[in-house]
Amino acid sequence: MSRGVRRAGAGQGAAAAVQLLVTLSFLPSVVEAQVTGVLDDCLCDIDSIDNFNTFKIFPKIKKLQERDYFRYYKVNLKRPCPFWAEDGHCSIKDCHVEPCPESKIPVGIKAGSSNKYLKVANNTKELEDCEQANKLGAINSTLSNQSKEAFIDWARYDDSQDHFCELDDERSPAAQYVDLLLNPERYTGYKGPSAWRVWNSIYEENCFKPRSVYRPLNPLAPSRGLCLEKRVFYKLISGLHASINLHLCANYLLEETWGKPSWGPNMKEFKRRFDPVETKGEGPRRLKNLYFLYLIELRALSKVAPYFERSIVDLYTGNVEEDADTKTLLLNIFQDTKSFPMHFDEKSMFAGDKKGAKSLKEEFRLHFKNISRIMDCVGCDKCRLWGKLQTQGLGTALKILFSEKEIQKLPENSPSKGFQLTRQEIVALLNAFGRLSTSIRELQNFKVLLQHSR
């Protein structure tokens, strides 16, 4: 090879290296540039959602999730997978269930009482002691037989025909209370074939998917050829997936020294899941679908406000003062949701001929209900817990959006036969929306970190 050719090749190599550095330096701005603007299928822009969430919703919903009524969630983590033989639960210590010591169970819960929105008081507030008694991130999901008996009379009533989720039987001996504050959603190490099969089943078998999309984890290609309802369904599942991934990236086990873990944002993991270059353009679309899901649940909260504004609805825990404060805070959040100026218009859905619309709505409901059943196939208990809660929360939001007439006819001082929410649906609805609010807040933090990494 002549020296001229070698010099030309060297020059081209240097130019390529410079171009690569330039490309890498602009990656953060590319992420920001692509996750902006007006969302498809609605007239809301991302910047407006960011500001609304940061200054109005996030501080209040975070505070609400710390209240006793919303802190405890009853769930059955032992239901068998209905679709395939289980591989056995994850053996990673951050995945499995550990009981919270009997001495740390809130006294009010043991006492028990009968009320349709009953959740007994927690006056001990021994959060730190209880957390130390558990393994790292392990789930506190079991109670003594005495405590189970105390809860057996909790009222179970629902409008089964409109459920979008496969609900756990709260009276089952396998259904257990979990303290959500002691079991935050974060990275557990659960991955591989088991985790892939769950999302593969969701996207490939239970989601309305454009024929042009093949890979199960590539659900966000332009959904041409799908009607509005199927596009919405697709974006909801994709947005939920994106939100879960954001939580894992933001609460990642960075290191563990002498048994003391250090949790925090993992930039490498965030780029792997959302960077437009590493995801071949899919990452920004995933994040946009997170915003779309936020809008859907925000709309549901604004629509269900009249249900909770009635004097008959009492978020009962046994602590009269705290119960009143909790309801005041919840109603304040509802007022904020109603003030948002760019809500998604759910009336545009199922608006065709009555027969076709009814059939499509039923297909929509059954698809989502099946996805809720798939959550029982998740091999990691902590992942299963949060997957079930957020799926039930979204299912409750859909139930609300498609029950507008029943909500409008609610009696002020007596229970309604047309529309009801169980306590578990209420807890799931608000905690699921809290997770979305947190995801959007965490995304803002990642944008700042990306800017500093340039």
pLDDT score, position 85: 83
* SS percent in the chain: helix, strand, coil, step 5: 55, 5, 40
- Residue 259 burial (10 A CB sphere; 0-12, 13-18, 19+): exposed
The answer to whether 165 is a known catalytic residue is: no
Helix (H, G, I), strand (E, B) or coil at 190: coil
DSSP strands (E only) in 273-429: none
Q: What is the pLDDT of residue 142?
A: 44
Q: 273 labelled as ligand-binding?
A: yes
Q: Please check if 96 is assigned to a binding site.
A: no
**Residue 199 marked in a binding site:** yes
**Do the beta carbons of residue 245 and residue 310 sit within 8 Å?**
no
Q: Helix, strand or coil for residue 252?
A: strand
How high is the pLDDT of residue 450? Answer: 84
- How many residues in total does the chain contain? 454
What are the tokens at 334?
Answer: 């509802």
241 is annotated as contributing to ligand binding: yes
How far apart are alpha carbons 109 and 149 in whole angstroms?
11
Torsional sign, CA 250, 251, 256, 258: positive
**Six token digits for residue 216:** 């199960």
**Which residue among the candidates 44, 100, 207, 380 is catalytic per the annotation?**
380
Q: Rg of the Cα trace of the chain?
A: 23
Count Cα neighbours of 242 within 13 Å in the Cβ-side half-sphere.
32
- 286 known ligand binder: no
8 A C-beta contact, residue 448 and residue 265: no
- Strand pairing category for 175-179 and 72-76: antiparallel
Angstrom CA distances, 265 to 29, 333, 386, stand at 19, 28, 19
Burial class (CB in 10 A: 0-12, 13-18, 19+), 269: middle
Q: Give the pLDDT confidence score for residue 203 in this predicted structure.
A: 87
Phi, psi of 130 (to 5 degrees): -70, -35
Q: Of the listed 95, 100, 165, 383, which one is catalytic?
A: 383
Residues 318, 415: contact at Cβ < 8 Å?
Answer: no
Cut 0.75: pTM above it: yes
On whether 197 is known to bind a ligand per the annotation, the reply is no
Q: Is 44 in the active site?
A: no
Nearest CA among 310, 437, 381 for reference residue 99: 381
User: What span, in angstroms and rounded, lies between the C-alpha atoms of 337 and 340?
Assistant: 6
Which residues, at least 6 apart from 276, have a Cβ–Cβ distance to it below 8 Å? 27, 30, 31, 34, 282, 283, 284
pLDDT in tens, the chain (454 residues): 544 444 444 444 454 444 434 344 444 555 665 788 889 888 889 999 999 999 999 999 999 999 988 988 888 998 999 988 866 555 566 665 454 444 543 444 334 433 344 333 233 333 443 343 333 334 544 444 443 443 443 333 333 345 777 777 777 778 888 889 888 998 888 888 888 999 999 988 777 754 444 444 344 444 456 788 888 999 999 999 999 999 999 999 998 777 788 899 999 999 999 999 999 989 999 999 999 999 999 999 999 999 999 988 888 877 889 989 999 999 999 999 999 999 998 888 887 778 888 888 888 888 899 999 999 999 999 999 999 999 999 999 999 998 888 898 888 887 777 788 988 899 999 999 999 999 999 999 999 998 887 6
CA gap 351, 57 in Å, rounded: 31
